Amino acid sequence: MSNIPKIVILGAGYGGILTALRLQKELNYNEADVTLVNKHDYHYITTHLHMPAAGTDKAENARVSISKLIDEFKIDFVKSTVVQIRTQDKKVILEDGTLSYDYLVIGVGGEPETFGIPGMNEYAMNIRSINSVRLIREHIEYQFARYKREPHRTDYLTFVVGGAGFTGIEFVGELADRVPELCKQFDVDRQLVKIINVEAAPTALPGFDPELVEYAMQVLTKKGVTFRIGTAIKECTPDGVIVGDGEEIRSATVIWAAGVRGNRLVDEAGFETMRGRVKVDETLRAPGHDNIYVIGDNSLMFNPEGRPYPPTAQIAMQQGVTCAHNLVASIRNQPLRKFEFKNKGTVASLGKGEAIGLAFGKTYRGRTAAWLKKLIDLRYLFIIGGIPLVLRKGKFF
Amino acid sequence: MSNIPKIVILGAGYGGILTALRLQKELNYNEADVTLVNKHDYHYITTHLHMPAAGTDKAENARVSISKLIDEFKIDFVKSTVVQIRTQDKKVILEDGTLSYDYLVIGVGGEPETFGIPGMNEYAMNIRSINSVRLIREHIEYQFARYKREPHRTDYLTFVVGGAGFTGIEFVGELADRVPELCKQFDVDRQLVKIINVEAAPTALPGFDPELVEYAMQVLTKKGVTFRIGTAIKECTPDGVIVGDGEEIRSATVIWAAGVRGNRLVDEAGFETMRGRVKVDETLRAPGHDNIYVIGDNSLMFNPEGRPYPPTAQIAMQQGVTCAHNLVASIRNQPLRKFEFKNKGTVASLGKGEAIGLAFGKTYRGRTAAWLKKLIDLRYLFIIGGIPLVLRKGKFF
């Protein structure tokens, strides 16, 4: 059996799961041993996490058991955490074991980038995983309950969201939808609740058409979100945040949604990295390592204009497809394919029934954009799990 | 209008609401002005609070809007907090106003008795109100979410309940039912969760037949509750509790359910009190005050054997009925009636489908007792709000 090449995929995020699914489909019997390693026994739909974080949907709807996605007769699954990647030994050290590989796919995902802002790692929460969004949801509900026992603590009802990019905007949209429910449930005056979105850049949602950004901010402001655009968070403290010239916003809840970097695992593995991301070649391989593919938030690629692609689900999925193709090609000694990103469009949700989007060369807003968003979510469920998964998880309609 | 006597009822708990309902029924038009004062605009069903505290029922099902109970054409309602009772001036000072009275009914309810245990007021929570049980529920759920982010903190999954009396036992029963759900929701191993019921007295549920107590402890132990009977809590700290000879139980959640005292308002009003309870005469009046009735947890009465009646819903309700009768009799210059407690029985819930009870001179256990408990709950809803309230709130079946 030792002459069968061993493929190890680290991470079952968008990139890793697509790689695994495509390998499962394209590889012939006994052509390769494929092992998928993931920290949890489920895959999660990161683009949906803003909903369970705000409590407008169950966390359950944002995750899928890996055993429902992959065929465990074809692919081995190991639930473990990667501790170290040893490229010289062709080994991966896990928390509770070791795996050897011939080909490695690194897709362990990013980590929050706090840009060295003091206190951000200690006191802010992130929308990054099932566990982290369950924490946010429970934390928010807890603040309403605490406020009723200490009514002078209006900081319990102030929610600061750092970052008005995709995640920050989608989250404040959901939270603004959830607040009236929470106010009703806990007998809290809606006027006392503040949702403050702080963004250091001169605009929210960079990359979107300014008219759409304007529309998004109007929709969210009407729902009760206060924007502090062009305002940097200088420090996060146990009492809130310090912004701009030293102004304090007192808040018991700070969500940091302003940045993603790569992963210390790839820094530590000795690859040449920029902020934890490996600048891969056109075939998605790490420079100098013909047998190592890096995808998703761990990889860094540049668009034809020379700007780095943002770390999105869409690009990770497309990379997974190319990565699987190239792995199969390598094994069969066939030529590799260059990765080319095809932008299928982008839609940002603004809460129930509201969104903005760019797709098929057009801009969308309002209810149509919200439908488009749902269709994209459904399409993803279909890609990874077919109709049965759409029926099981596609309940957010 | 000034010759119409003014009756002010402080508190819309079991005693106050029954007094108000009976006055509403028995008084003729313009025979008296009745004002009911309560901190919240709802009455809550204290005997049901262990369920929303554990999260096995909604807090909404444990409260009823006062406007749905009283006829506001007949009784004025003031939502405010009583600050001081001035018997010499026949005035009640509210947080935001003042009320004069000719007759006063004091039923503001009890406060937790912590017996001077250090840290108990600061770090423990109580099952005492809608706000307090919402806090407990959210606090518990939050600990599961926090644990997933800090898996070394098993103290997040340890729940200490001080007191194995009625409230403590009913609460651990519900919590034991909720834990498997929470474990599923947060992916937590059930074995890691500890529910520890600490009781200083030599037995749980004093006053119950020892065989029933034995049965209750068996049922709850099987559900995963650990009992530490005959063990005193010496101190409550931010890290848990110190019990017995200095043993520390590390826990992020301490619920104190071991004692109720009267209210500092009656201490401060100059009545002769024992632990905030006024030793009332046989007609429920405060000694030396012919126009002041004290009922529920604020009153102290002795049974024919000379032992004080425990502060229960049942006695408060019966006192409310007698109190209303005596108020009407006073106004009409008719003789007052002596209060006599009629014990209708007692049932303690042990979670879903399990209970123990004493009623009609018999003991009950298991499913029959659980049904009896539900019937008692329903009967209460019927008494205060008739069939419409039973239909609206009686959903815990």
Give B141-180 pLDDT, tens digit per residue. Answer: 999 999 999 999 999 999 999 999 999 999 999 999 999 9
| pLDDT of residue A132 exceeding 80 | yes
| Record: contact A131-B145, CB cut-off 8 A | yes
What is the rounded CA–CA span in Å between residue B160 and residue B152?
18
Contact B384, B249 (CB under 8 A): no
Query: What are the residue ranges of CATH 3.50.50.60 in chain B?
Result: 120-259
Size of interface A-B (CB pairs under 8 A): 53
| pLDDT of residue A397 exceeding 70 | no
Provide the terminal-to-terminal Cα distance of chain B, rounded to the nearest Å: 48
Place A117 in a pLDDT band, splitting at 50, 70 and 90: very high
Alpha-carbon separation of residue B111 from B126, B262, B335 (angstroms) = 10, 6, 34
Of the candidates A59, A139, A148, the beta carbon closest to that of B131 is on A148
Ramachandran quadrant class, A94 (left: phi over 0; alpha: psi -120 to 50; beta: rest)? beta
Amino acid B19: pLDDT = 97
| Record: contact B134-A142, CB cut-off 8 A | no
| pLDDT of residue A190 exceeding 60 | yes
Of the candidates B40, B138, B149, the beta carbon closest to that of A142 is on B138
Residue B98 contacts by C-beta under 8 Å, 6 or more apart in sequence?
Answer: B91, B92
Amino acid B391: pLDDT = 77
The hierarchical CATH code for the domain B6-39+80-110+262-343 is: 3.50.50.100
Ramachandran quadrant class, A366 (left: phi over 0; alpha: psi -120 to 50; beta: rest)? left
* Interface pTM, i.e. ipTM: 0.72
Q: Which of A371-375, B17-21, B54-58, B86-90 has the lowest mean pLDDT?
A: A371-375
Amino acid B207: pLDDT = 81
Ramachandran quadrant class, B269 (left: phi over 0; alpha: psi -120 to 50; beta: rest)? alpha
Amino acid A1: pLDDT = 45
| Record: contact A132-B139, CB cut-off 8 A | no
The secondary structure of residue B295, as a DSSP letter, is: -
Amino acid B32: pLDDT = 95
| pLDDT of residue A396 exceeding 70 | no
Amino acid A2: pLDDT = 56
Amino acid B373: pLDDT = 87
Q: pLDDT above 90 covers what percent of chain A?
A: 82
Place B397 in a pLDDT band, splitting at 50, 70 and 90: very low
- The predicted model gives B43-48 an average pLDDT of 93
Amino acid B306: pLDDT = 87
| Record: contact A131-B141, CB cut-off 8 A | no
Pinpoint the alpha helices (H) of chain B: 14-26, 50-54, 66-69, 120-123, 130-149, 166-186, 210-222, 264-268, 313-331, 366-393
Nearest to B380 by CA among B14, B128, B27: B14
A331-360 confidence digits (pLDDT tens)? 999 999 999 999 888 999 999 999 999 887
The structure tokens listed for A39 are 């920290």
Contact B207, B311 (CB under 8 A): no
Active-site residue, from B60, B138, B170, B305: B170
| pLDDT of residue A109 exceeding 80 | yes
Residue B80 contacts by C-beta under 8 Å, 6 or more apart in sequence?
Answer: B37, B39, B94, B95, B96, B97
Q: Which of A288-292, A377-381, B325-329 has the lowest mean pLDDT?
A: A377-381
Amino acid A395: pLDDT = 58
Nearest CA in chain B to A130: B186
- The predicted model gives A183-207 an average pLDDT of 95
Nearest to B178 by CA among B127, B215, B144: B144
Other CB atoms within 10 Å distance of the CB of residue A226: 15
Radius of gyration of the CA atoms of chain A, in A: 22
| Record: contact A186-B141, CB cut-off 8 A | no
Q: Is B388 exposed, middle or buried (0-12, 13-18, 19+ CB in 10 A)?
A: exposed
Query: What are the residue ranges of CATH 3.50.50.100 in chain B?
Result: 6-39+80-110+262-343
Q: Which of B78-87, B91-100, B121-130, B360-369 has the lowest mean pLDDT?
A: B360-369
- The values of phi and psi at residue B158, to 5°, are -105, 125
What is the rounded CA–CA span in Å between residue B371 and residue A209?
63
Ramachandran quadrant class, A156 (left: phi over 0; alpha: psi -120 to 50; beta: rest)? alpha
Nearest CA in chain B to A133: B145
Mutate to test the interface with B, among A141, A152, A156, A188 (most CBs of B within 10 A): A141
What is the rounded CA–CA span in Å between residue B190 and residue A222?
44
Other CB atoms within 10 Å distance of the CB of residue A210: 9
Nearest CA in chain A to B135: A145
- The predicted model gives B87-108 an average pLDDT of 96
| pLDDT of residue A150 exceeding 70 | yes
Place B269 in a pLDDT band, splitting at 50, 70 and 90: very high
Is B3 or A55 the better-scoring residue by pLDDT? A55
Is B93 or B29 the better-scoring residue by pLDDT? B93
Nearest to B2 by CA among B102, B105, B77, B86: B102
| b/e per residue B9-30 (b: at least 16 CB within 10 A) | bbbbbbbbbbbbbbbbeebeee
- The values of phi and psi at residue A118, to 5°, are -60, 140
- The predicted model gives A126-133 an average pLDDT of 96
Of the candidates B135, B146, B187, the beta carbon closest to that of A145 is on B135
Place B345 in a pLDDT band, splitting at 50, 70 and 90: confident
Query: What are the residue ranges of CATH 3.50.50.60 in chain A?
Result: 120-258
Ramachandran quadrant class, A187 (left: phi over 0; alpha: psi -120 to 50; beta: rest)? left
| pLDDT of residue A295 exceeding 70 | yes
Amino acid A126: pLDDT = 96
Q: Which residues of A touch B149 (CB under 8 A)?
A: 131-132, 135
Amino acid B361: pLDDT = 82
| Record: contact A135-B146, CB cut-off 8 A | yes
Q: Which residues of A touch B135 (CB under 8 A)?
A: 142, 145-146, 148-149
Segment holding A286, helix H or strand E = none
Amino acid B16: pLDDT = 97
The structure tokens listed for A362 are 């057009």
The domain at A120-258 falls in which architecture?
3-Layer(bba) Sandwich (3.50)
Amino acid A211: pLDDT = 94
Q: Mean pLDDT score of chain A, rounded to an integer?
A: 93
Segment holding A362, helix H or strand E = strand A362-365
Q: Which residues of A touch B124 (CB under 8 A)?
A: none
B171-220 confidence digits (pLDDT tens)? 999 999 999 999 999 999 999 999 999 999 999 998 888 999 999 999 99
- The predicted model gives B301-317 an average pLDDT of 91
Contact B356, B365 (CB under 8 A): yes
Mutate to test the interface with B, among A134, A157, A185, A189 (most CBs of B within 10 A): A134
What is the rounded CA–CA span in Å between residue A120 and residue A256?
8
CA distance, residue B125 to nearest chain A CA (Å): 11
| pLDDT of residue B372 exceeding 70 | yes
Of the candidates B40, B144, B149, the beta carbon closest to that of A132 is on B149
Please provide the size of chain B in residues: 397
| b/e per residue A27-50 (b: at least 16 CB within 10 A) | beeeebbbbbbbbbebbbbbbbbb
| pLDDT of residue A91 exceeding 80 | yes
Place A373 in a pLDDT band, splitting at 50, 70 and 90: confident
Segment holding B344, helix H or strand E = none
| pLDDT of residue A219 exceeding 50 | yes
DSSP percent split of chain B into helix, strand, coil, nearest 5: 40, 25, 35
Nearest CA in chain A to B141: A138
Q: Give the catalytic positions of A in this structure.
A: 170
| Record: contact A142-B139, CB cut-off 8 A | yes
- The values of phi and psi at residue A340, to 5°, are -130, 125
- The values of phi and psi at residue A259, to 5°, are -170, 150
Residue A77 contacts by C-beta under 8 Å, 6 or more apart in sequence?
Answer: A35, A36, A37, A38, A41, A66, A67, A70
CA A265 to centroid of chain Cα atoms:
18
Amino acid B395: pLDDT = 58
| Record: contact A144-B132, CB cut-off 8 A | no
B262-268 contacts, C-beta under 8 A, 24 or more apart: B262/B110, B262/B111, B262/B297, B262/B298, B262/B300, B263/B108, B263/B109, B263/B110, B263/B111, B263/B297, B263/B298, B264/B111, B265/B82, B265/B84, B265/B85, B265/B106, B265/B108, B266/B85, B266/B106, B266/B108, B266/B294, B266/B298, B268/B84, B268/B85
Place B2 in a pLDDT band, splitting at 50, 70 and 90: low
Alpha-carbon separation of residue B366 from A105, B211, B346, B358, B371 (angstroms) = 57, 13, 14, 12, 9
- The predicted model gives B316-341 an average pLDDT of 96
| pLDDT of residue A394 exceeding 80 | no
Amino acid A388: pLDDT = 80
Q: Mean pLDDT score of chain B, rounded to an integer?
A: 93
Contact B125, B139 (CB under 8 A): yes
- The predicted model gives B13-17 an average pLDDT of 97
Q: pLDDT above 70 covers what percent of chain B?
A: 99
Nearest CA in chain A to B182: A134
CA distance, residue B137 to nearest chain A CA (Å): 9
Query: What topology is assigned to B120-259 in CATH?
Result: FAD/NAD(P)-binding domain (3.50.50)
Of the candidates A59, A139, A149, the beta carbon closest to that of B132 is on A149
| pLDDT of residue B80 exceeding 50 | yes
The secondary structure of residue A372, as a DSSP letter, is: H
